[in-house]
Amino acid sequence: MANLFIKLTTEDWGYTCHGKREYDALISLVPYFRDRVLRVLVDMVARGHEPYCLWGKRSLGQQVKLVAKGVSSLRHSKHLAGKAADIVDYEDLSHGGSGWNTSECFWADLIMVAQRHDLYSGFAWKKYGRFGDSCHVEWQTGRTVGLPPWLYCLASRPP
C-alpha cells in the first residue's frame, strides 16, 4: 500500500521514491519547489545516478539539533519553510554510508542540473569542502539564477 501511495504522487515525473522517508521529505516541500526538485531527481536518473532526497522541510527542533551537531550552521535555514532539500547518492546510502561518499561526477551533475532548473546550490559554501554543501538545493529569491516560473510566462508574452 505504501509503495502505491508513493507512486501516485511521483509517477507523473517518472520518478519513484526509495521509501517512505524520501516520500515524506518530498511531500513536505512547498509545491512549486517540490516540482523543481522532482525534475532534478528525474534528470539525475537520466544521467545514470541514483539520487535520494534525504531532507525536505525541517522543524525548528530538528534544525537546532543539526546546528548543535555541526551538520548545519544556520538556525534560519530555508529547510524550515520547505524551500530547501538535500539530495544525496542512494547507492552510498543503501550500503550504510551517509549518501555523501560518492563520485565527484554525482556532485558536478547535481550542481549543473539544479542550476538548469533555477535552483540555488550550496556548492558555493566552501566551508564544507571542495564541493561545498552540494547536496543542498534551495528555491531562488532573486539570486544569480532566475525568477519564479510564473514571471517567465509573463515576460515571454508580447507587450
Tens digit of each residue's pLDDT (9 = 90 or more) over 80-120: 889 999 999 998 888 887 776 777 778 878 887 888 888 88
pLDDT of residue 59: 87
Q: Which CATH architecture has domain 2-155?
A: 2-Layer Sandwich (3.30)
Domain spans of the chain, in order of start = 2-155
Asked if 118 contacts 145 with a C-beta cutoff of 8 angstroms, the reply is yes
Asked if 121 contacts 137 with a C-beta cutoff of 8 angstroms, the reply is yes
Confidence of residue 141 (pLDDT cuts 50, 70, 90): low
Q: Write down the pTM of the prediction.
A: 0.77
Tens digit of each residue's pLDDT (9 = 90 or more) over 28-47: 999 989 989 999 999 889 88
| Other beta carbons less than 10 A from residue 136's beta carbon | 24
Confidence of residue 2 (pLDDT cuts 50, 70, 90): very low
Which three-class secondary structure state does DSSP give residue 94?
helix
Q: What's the first-to-final CA gap in the chain, in angstroms?
A: 50
pLDDT of residue 69: 82
What's the mean pLDDT in 68-76?
75
Distance CA 101, CA 8 (A): 31
Tens digit of each residue's pLDDT (9 = 90 or more) over 43-66: 889 888 899 999 899 888 888 888
Of residues 5 and 69, more confidence is placed in 69
The rounded mean pLDDT for the chain is: 74
